[in-house]
Structure 1
Amino acid sequence: MLCCFKRKKSPEREVQNTASSISNFDSVDSGVLYQKIMGNSNLKQHIDTAQKTGACQLRKLNLKEVPEELQRLSKMLRTVDLSDNKIPQLPPWFVTFASLKNLTMNNCKLLSLPENFGQLRKLEVLSLSGNSLTHLPQSFSNLVNLKTLTVSGNLLTAFPGELLPLQQLDSVDLSSNKITDLPHNMATLQAVEINLNHNQVSVLPESIAQCPRLKVLRLEENSLEISAFTPTILKNSKISLFAVDGNLFDMKSFHHLEGYDEYMERFTATKRKFN
């Protein structure tokens, strides 16, 4: 007895057949529909992978919002990358990602973060470059495990005070914003490196000399006068690298500041350590 088995079509063949069946549409409509079909297929594939690995990569999928399908993975996702999409805001349920440690949303047209963003208490690495953020929510100070923060290329006008209580913070990149002001009391800031290149900073608070772990301070292309670098900052801080090119003074005058010799001792010691 002969049996006939119907061969199952592959997802790729189904997509091709579907695309070919829409020939009655004009070419523009056909292209949009084909892209939508492929996008849905890619999304499902990425989410299926995330369910197995705990890491969800959704870059460059032309997303307008965070897919609701992610909500069912809220307890297991550790890494999420939504970069290069068009997602102006996160949904309220996003803060239920209790295991999330690494979130990347670069170039997403992000306008703001939820006020309760600080509920993501396990977050360790956060990258939000190339968006339109003007501030960080007050709850940001609850991100007690945050180690690396990148918010370059946004619209911040002041150094976020919400970073000052974060005890695990190592690296902060706030370059290419519109920051003019730093907090008057920065003594509690735990960061090892701060990048403020390409901002509009004109004053350095002397309390920056009390930052207990600060080793690298990048201030290139700002609006600093030479007087901003006081003897207290140069002598008493732990900063071993000042990157200050492109401000309102020449480097020769920086070399003649009181406290420069003490700074160079730290610089040389650090350089020797890594050679």
Structure 2
Amino acid sequence: MGNENSVAKHLQNAQRTGVCQLSDMNLDEFPMHLLKMSGKLRTLDISCNKFHELPGSIGKFLMLKSLNMNQNRLNLSGNSLKALPSDLKDLQAIELNLNQNQISELPESLHLCPRLKVLRFEENCVPLRGVPEKLLADSKVSLLAFDGNLFDQKSFQSRPGYDAYIERYTATRKKFD
């Protein structure tokens, strides 16, 4: 772990503010003390560290609106992630970027993420069957970015649940027009 005193100061501040800034602290493992704040943290920045794996406990952060893990040995985009924890149902992030990894299947639990609106998984190894039908039919996701996987737009349009997804997508687009 990096500088313990500095991490402790940041954790104390996060307890008061709901924002935890632990970027560029030479951390090589997820600070488990953060779990005590899983119901309070809104923003977590653990970028520019040396993480090797995404901890399954990240799904316990019930209030999390922003998660930045960029420029780690595990960066949510641009790494060699082959899989995600299977239980992400409590993840509170609004956008999840998994681009340029080696993911072959999206977890079924993503459809349960109550705030997830944007899911980017471009340039992975996901076959059409690796996109859960419930993610299309029953989630809040209104933008799926999936170019560079093992299926094309035409086959994606024939996937069960696509109609429900495209309704959410269209409604969201109309809000911004």
Q: TM-score range by the shorter chain?
A: 0.7 to 0.9
Query: Aligned runs of 1:88-127 on 2, under 5 Å?
Result: 90-94=2-6, 95-97=8-10, 100=13, 122=17, 124-126=19-21
Distance in 1 (CA, whole Å) between partners of 2:12 and 2:34 is 17
Given the two structures, how large is their TM-score scaled by the length of structure 1? 0.53
Match of 1:263 in 2: 165
Partner in structure 1 of residue 146 of structure 2? 244
Residues 154 and 247 (structure 1 numbering): CA distance in 2 closer, same or farther, change over 3 Å? farther
* Per-residue CA distance 1:122-152 (angstroms, 9 max, x = gap): 45153647x9866423333234443334556
Aligned counterpart, 1:172 = 67
- Provide the TM-score with structure 2 as the length reference: 0.78
Equivalent residue, structure 2, for 1:30: none
Q: What does residue 50 of structure 1 align with?
A: none
Partners of 1:93 and 1:153 in 2: CA distance: 18
Residue deviations 1:170-204 (CA, integer Å, cap 9, x gap): 12342223322212222111111111112221111
User: Structure 2 counterpart of 1:96, which letter?
Assistant: K
2:54 is aligned with 1:159: yes
The structure 2 residue matched to 1:206, chosen from 101, 108, 112, is: 108
| 97 and 254 in structure 1: CA distance in 2 versus 1, 3 angstrom threshold | closer
Q: 2:96 aligns with which of 194, 204, 213?
A: 194
Which structure is larger by alpha-carbon Rg, 1 or 2?
1
SS in 2 for 1:253: helix
Corresponding position: 1:142 with 2:142: no
RMSD: 2.8
> Which SS does the other structure have where 2:105 is aligned?
coil
Q: Is this contact kept in 1: 2:2–2:26, CA < 8 A?
A: no
> SS of 1:100's equivalent?
helix
Q: Determine the C-alpha separation between the residues in 1 that align with 2:145 and 2:18.
A: 29
Measure the CA separation in 2 of the matches of 1:203 and 1:135: 25
- Quick one: distance in 1 between partners of 2:107 and 2:4? 37
Evaluate the alpha carbon distance shift between residue 99 and residue 186 of structure 1 in structure 2; reply closer, same or farther with a 3 A threshold: closer
Q: 1:87-128: CA deviations, max 9, x gaps?
A: xx6322111346635xxxxxxxxxxxxxxxxxx664515364
CA distance in structure 2 between the aligned counterparts of 1:252 and 1:154, rounded to whole angstroms: 40
Check whether the contact 1:172–1:195 (CA below 8 A) recurs between aligned residues. Answer: no
Does the Cα contact within 8 Å between 1:122 and 1:143 map onto a contact in 2? no
- State the AA in 2 paired with 1:184: S
Q: Do the aligned partners of 1:158 and 1:181 also contact (CA within 8 Å) in 2?
A: no
Unaligned runs of 5+ in 1: 1-88, 102-119
Cα distance in structure 2, aligned partners of 1:150 and 1:199: 21
Q: Which amino acid aligns with 2:64?
A: L
* Structure 2 unpaired stretches of 5+: 69-75
- The alignment of Structure 1 onto Structure 2 pairs a total of residues equal to 168
